[in-house]
Amino acid sequence: MPSVKHFVSKNEKDTRTVAKEILDEIMKDGKERSRALVVALSGNLGSGKTAFTKAAARNLGIKSRITSPTFVIMKRHSFSAGKGSKEFKFFFHIDAYRLRNEKEILSLGWKEISDDKNNLIFIEWPENIQKVLPRGARRISVSADKTGARHFKFK
């Protein structure tokens, strides 16, 4: 059974440290892939999924502004430099919050995007497109506790 790792973040700066630690593991394991590397971020509204995605993108060297893709569903950023550029060409950020099923994501080119090993894909609200997620997708769940700290569980 894969072990679950638990990280706590008290603010967005901590989230950057958490993102680095989780990414180091994901990148290590992801080297064998033949398709895109998919990271599924589950968690309630406002739990910190977009903040984590931003932190991860920065850590990997994405320079462009990461904003929540809630209304456009999917945004693509290029790796031009930084450590992510050794492994990937594109960083996709998907917010499936508004999707009711897999149809819309398929029409946005999901098959081609997820088949391409040059792509790193982060997905918020992955439950809404569960059927198209690859079996090897990495799972992170985010939650806020009553102090406002965010908990990241990763397997």
* Interaction site with Mg ion (CB under 5 A): 49-50, 68, 124
* Under rule CB under 6 A, residue 49 binds ligand ATP: yes
Q: Which residue has the tokens 């993102």?
A: 19
Nearer to Mg ion by C-beta: 42 or 68?
68
Alpha-carbon distance of 47 to 58, in angstroms, equals: 19
Tokens of 36: 């895109």
Which CB sits closer to Mg ion, 51 or 60? 51
Report the alpha-carbon distance of residue 119 to residue 88 in Å, rounded: 6
50 belongs to the binding site for ligand ATP (CB under 6 A): yes
Q: Please report whether residue 93 would count as binding ligand ATP according to CB under 6 A.
A: no
**Using CB distances below 5 to 8 A depending on partner kind, what does residue 48 bind out of Mg ion, ligand ATP, none?**
ligand ATP
Cα separation, 103 vs 30, in Å, equals 27
* 128 touches, from ligand ATP, Mg ion, none (C-beta below 5 to 8 Å by class): none
Question: Which residue from 11, 64, 101, 130 is in contact with ligand ATP, where contact means CB under 6 A?
Answer: 11
Interaction of residue 46 with ligand ATP, rule CB under 6 A: yes
The yes or no reply on residue 43 touching ligand ATP (CB under 6 A) is yes
**Residues 151 and 5 sit within 8 Å (Cβ to Cβ):** no
Query: Which amino acid is located at 37 in the chain?
Result: L
CB 23 within 8 A of CB 5: no
